[in-house]
Amino acid sequence: MSPQVHRSSEISGAAREPTTDMAINGEGNHVAELNPGFYELGRNHQRRGRGVTINEKLSKLRARGIPLDLHFPQQFGKVCGRHASVFKSEVTVCIRQDAPLRVMKWKDMDNAFPGTTAAIWNFLRDKFPEISVGDKGYVMAQVERQYNVRRSRLHTTYRTTKRRPSDVAPEDWQWLIENLWTDEKFKKRSETNSRNRGQ
């Protein structure tokens, strides 16, 4: 007869803690313990989140000498290819490290922080020799999309937890709260977008 799995709390006279699973044979004898401490995890420990993207995959691919499959078809207007996710992850890292948060819109970036978009473009060109000067419009459109996604996620974090993420400087967080997220135009646009998404 195959062993049956029972919670130790279901076994009469069990001498073990009720935080383990046990396999019991047909005669009621303890055969094996499965997933020790699994139920303990939920009670006393909090799981770690994914953390921020650091894009280790790119350096591993480069170390192995694998050429990246990246292209920007005009009909899609965004990065495509087998390694598109690696490119997008690097854009995310670049935005988090180099793109200032203290602007109302991406289009204001060069007025508020001159040279920022050029620096981001040069950084990505150095990291990805596969992209050409002709791809610049598509690359920077991808950067803008991911910049907006980052700020949207920060806004969601603010609305739900009010806690500043560790990768955002306190003065940047305060600026976003006082200038962007309390702006009437931003609020109206945010509400309209939420309605359009059905949220």
Q: Which domain holds residue 70?
A: 56-189
Residues 37 and 107 in one domain: no
Residues 37 and 61 in one domain: no
- Give the pLDDT of residue 84: 96
Chain centroid to CA 165: 12
Report residue 122 as tokens.
């040069």
Task: Indicate whether 18 pLDDT > 50.
Answer: no
User: Looking at the domain assignment, is residue 49 inside a domain?
Assistant: no
User: Looking at the domain assignment, is residue 194 inside a domain?
Assistant: no
Residues 120 and 143 in one domain: yes
Mean pLDDT of 115-121: 97
How many structural domains are present in the chain? 2
Residues 117 and 40 in one domain: no
Residues 105 and 31 in one domain: no
CB of 93 within 8 A of CB of 120? Answer: no
Q: Tell me the CB-side half-sphere exposure of residue 27, using CA atoms within 13 A.
A: 3
Residues 90 and 131 in one domain: yes
User: Looking at the domain assignment, is residue 199 inside a domain?
Assistant: no
Mind listing the pLDDT tens digit for each residue in 90-106? 999 999 999 999 999 99
Q: Where are the beta strands (DSSP E) in the chain?
A: 4-7, 21-24, 30-34
Q: pTM for this one?
A: 0.72
Report how far residue 17's alpha carbon sits from residue 37's, in angstroms, rounded to the nearest whole number.
Answer: 10
User: Looking at the domain assignment, is residue 109 inside a domain?
Assistant: yes
How many helices (H) and strands (E) would you count in the chain? 8, 3
Compute the mean pLDDT over every residue in the chain, rounded to the nearest whole number.
84
Report how far residue 145's alpha carbon sits from residue 76's, in angstroms, rounded to the nearest whole number.
Answer: 14
Report residue 195 as tokens.
């309605």
Specify which residues 5 forms β-bridges with: 23
Task: Indicate whether 26 pLDDT > 60.
Answer: yes
Mean pLDDT of 138-162: 95
Specify which residues 34 forms β-bridges with: 21
Mind listing the pLDDT tens digit for each residue in 56-87? 999 999 999 999 999 999 999 899 999 999 99
